[in-house]
Structure 1
C-alpha cells in the first residue's frame, strides 16, 4: 500500500507543505526515533534548527504495539482513556510499564542531548514531526511539552494519521497531514521502506543539522567575492559569475543544458540555496552567443566537457580557490558534460549532481567517474528516468537516483525545483565541506 518511498521521501513532501514557515522563527522537533529523519528534511526545507522532543509510548502489557498512553521529558504524562476503557489494565502493570519506559526515556535524553542544549521555544513556532499517528498518544504529549516550554504556536506535521484520531486532537494549534485514512491499522503500511531508525542515526542527523545551522550565519556575514568573471579556454573566453564565501571550502561549477547559461533562473535558484549552505558557486556560459546558434554545439559533449575542465583549472589557479573542493552541477545535456569532465579529471572532482540530466551522453566514460554522483529526475519525466537508470548500470562510483514526485523535465511544478535544490545541497555539503554529515553518506555503489 506504501505511498511514501521511505521516511526521507515523506519528510521532503512535508517540507514542501510547510514551506510557508520559512523565515518565521520556527524550530523543528522530531520525535525519536522514526520522526527524526523526516524532521531533518523539514528543517532543511525551512532553513530552521532541528531538535528532538523525547517521548515514549506506554504499550498495553499484553499488546505492546497498542498505546495506552505516553510519557515525555519534563515529567510529561498522559493516558489514552479510550483505550483503557476497552482494555482492562491493572494499576501495578501500568506502573511497571511506566517505570520501564521512563528509564529508557532518560537514557535516550542523555544520549541525544549529549553536548547539546535544547533550543529555546519561548515565543517561537514549534513544528513537531513524526512518521505517522495511530493512537496519537505520543503526539499529544509532545505538543503539551512544546506548549509548556513556551511555544507561541504548535504545529503537528505527519505524513499519515487516522482521520478519526486527528478529529479529537486539541493539543496542536494546527495539523499538517498528507494522508488521512479513515481506518489506519499500521503506519508502516504507508511506507515502501519502513526500516527502523537507529539511535546512532538520530545522533548523526542532529549533528548534521547543527553543523548546517552553524554555517548559515557565518555565510551571511561573509566578506567573500560576488563578481562576473572571464575564463580563458582553448576556443573561447567563457563568461561566468563567481560567488565565494570566506573561506571557500567548496565550489560548485554549473554546467547548463540546452538553451540556458549563467542567467538561467533555475540554475540561479539552485545556486542561491547552495550559497546559503556555505558553498561557492560558479555559473557559466559554456557556449558563446555565436556558438549557440549552431544547435550541434549543444550536444557536443566533448566540447562542453573541455570547457568545464578549463573552468576547473582556472579555479585551481586562483588564490581564493586553489585549495577548494570542486563539484559539478549539470542540467540536461550539461549533466553529460559534467560526468565526462569528472571522468577526465579523476579525484580532482569531489561530487556531481545531475538535475533532469542526460548522463547517458557521457557514454563509456561513465565507468571512469569516481566522484559520488546524485541523479535527480522528475517522476513524470519517464524517458529521462530510463536513460538515467541505464547510465547507472555503467557507473562504478557511489551513486543514487532520486525521483522528485510530480516533476516534469524542467521542474516547473510548484515546489519541485525547491526539492531538487535541497537534494543537491545535501549531496554537495556531504562531499565538499569537510566534517559535515548528511544523507549522501548512504549512497550505494551501484
Structure 2
C-alpha cells in the first residue's frame, strides 16, 4: 500500500524518512510529552503550581501521563497569560474566544509563528485528498485576519498548486452558489449548517451533481444526516474535520476511505476518559475528550477537558495509517435541555430534522413549556411536526400536554442561526 498524504505529513513532522509504526509513534509522543511538562513548569507560573509534583523523568508511560491533573475551561478563561511559557515577543497571534451559552471572561489563546506554520502544514496534507492541483476550494469561514483559518487554508493549498477563496460566513445560500460558480470551485469548506444550505440551493437551481467534487465539514458538530444530505444533493465526497482554536485548529480529518478522522497526533494528543473518575477508557468507548498539545511551546495545553464527548475507533483504518481515528460523531457534553417528559438532546434533534426532505436549516428555542422551531427550506409545518414526533420525549410531551410546539418557516436562504455561533437549543425568550 502506498504512503497516504497524512502519513507523509506524519513522517515529516517526526523528522523521519519512513512512516512510523504505532509503537514508534507512541514512543515519540511519550518523549515529547515529558519534554512539554518540563518546559511548561519552567516557563509558566500556572503550570509551576498546577504540575508542582510532576517531572518529565517520572513519566515512563502514557498511562503515567494520564495521571496528571486535568485543566478545566474556567482555568483557561481566568488566567490565560499564566499559561504562557515563552516571552510575549514570541507570540504571533492572539485569538479571543467566546463560547455560546457562557458568561464571564472569554478565553484568550496565544499562538506562536511555529504554531501557525504547523497548522498550515497539516492543512496542506490533510486537504490533499479533497483539492487537486490547480483546483479551488471555496471557504465559508473568515478569511481577512492574518493567521485566520481562511489565510491558513490558502497558504496550505498553495503548497500543492491549488488555492482557497475565503468568502466569509454564509449569509445567503444563493450568493454562496454564485461564488462557487464564479470561482469554478470544486471543493467547499464550511460549517455543516452552512454547507447544507448551499447544497439545497445548488439542487434547487438544477445544477449538475459532481461539479463540486468534495466537501469538508468543520467548525461545529457534524450530524450524520447533514453528511448524507450534502453528499446526495451535490453528488460529492464528504470529509469531516474536528478541531479546536485552543489547540491551534486542525485536530483530526478523514482520509480517503472515510472510516474515521485521523488525529493530528504529533500536535493534538487526545485521551478519552471516564466523565466521573477521569480514568482512561479503552478504544471504542465514548467518554470525555481531554487534549494536550505536545509541540505547542508558546501556550502549552496539558490535559484540557474540552467539553466534547467522543471515542477512538478500534482497529486499523483501511488506509493503513498508524494515526488513531476519532469517531466523526463528536458531540458536546452539555447538549440537552430538560422537558417534563425527559431531556431533549441537540444531537437527536439534529438527526431527525436535518433528515427531513427539503429542510435546509433550523434553530430551536425552549421557553417554559413550548419548543419554538425556526426552519428554512421547502418543507411544510406538518412534515416537521411528524418528524419531531419520532422523538419519544417530544411525542410524550405532546400527548400528555406538557409540551407545546410552534414552528415558523422563513423560506429563506439565510441560516436560521446567524454567524458561526455553535448550534444549541436556546433556553428562554
Structure of higher CA gyration radius: 1
TM-score range, shorter chain: under 0.3
Flag the structure with more relative contact order, 1 or 2, with Cα contacts below 8 A and sequence separation at least 6: 2
Larger helix fraction of residues: 1
